[in-house]
């Protein structure tokens, strides 16, 4: 999909294009056993906000329910996001995803809510469309710099 001059992909489109990178990204989102990430949102000229959220890769997409909050206002108003995996001090691999969100239609939202690990109430669900994804791999805490892989595959950064 092309939106605002950028190519945005669903999780399924990204995974089809680069299955190995998608599996590694999914593992980083689920490294604690459940999907979790840090969400950065923006609005106008204000500095970015960082929020912990629950995420899930379900069927064809990367989704989150966003509770009423400044992050919901930011996403509804601007739509741009950056998503980062939680850091693990023992194995400090990193995942960053940038893109735009789109609100999930009511039927899909109801299906997602049934699988969600907590009661979402009337919170809206968003799908995270991927413009760019980067994974940094380090053997241990002392290894620097990380070995980076990115999507779309413009280059493999090492």
The string of pLDDT tens digits covering residues 47-88 is: 899 999 999 999 889 999 999 999 999 999 999 999 999 988
In this structure, the strands spanning 147-151 and 125-137 are antiparallel
Domain residue limits, the chain: 12-151
DSSP β-bridge partners for residue 90: none
Give me the torsion for CA of 109, 110, 115, 117, rounded to 10°: 80
Q: How confident is residue 22, by pLDDT bands cut at 50, 70 and 90?
A: very high
pLDDT category, 1, cuts 50, 70, 90?
Answer: low
Residue 149's pLDDT is 96
Pick the CATH number of 12-151 from 2.30.110.10, 1.10.1040.10, 3.40.50.2000, 2.60.120.10: 2.30.110.10
Residue 2 has pLDDT above 70, yes or no: no
Q: Per the confidence metrics, is the pTM higher than 0.85?
A: yes
pLDDT value at 30 more than 70: yes
Cα–Cα distance, 88 to 22 (Å, whole number): 19
The model's confidence at residue 45, banded by pLDDT at 50, 70 and 90, is confident
- Provide the pLDDT for residue 59: 86
């Amino acid at each position: 999909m092309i939106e605002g001059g950028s190519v945005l992909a669903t999780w399924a489109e990204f995974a089809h294009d680069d299955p190995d990178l998608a599996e590694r990204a999914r593992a980083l989102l689920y490294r604690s056993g459940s999907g979790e990430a840090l969400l950065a949102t923006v609005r106008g000229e204000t500095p970015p906000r960082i929020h912990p959220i629950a995420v899930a890769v379900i069927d064809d997409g990367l989704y989150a329910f966003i509770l009423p909050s400044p992050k919901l206002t930011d996403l509804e108003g601007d739509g741009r996001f950056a998503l980062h995996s939680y850091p693990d001090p023992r194995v400090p691999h990193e995942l960053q995803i940038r893109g735009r969100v789109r609100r999930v239609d009511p039927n899909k939202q109801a299906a997602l809510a049934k699988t969600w690990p907590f009661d979402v109430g009337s919170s809206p669900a968003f799908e995270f469309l991927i413009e760019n994804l980067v994974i940094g791999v380090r053997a241990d805490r002392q290894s620097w710099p990380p070995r980076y892989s990115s999507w779309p595959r413009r280059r493999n950064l090492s």
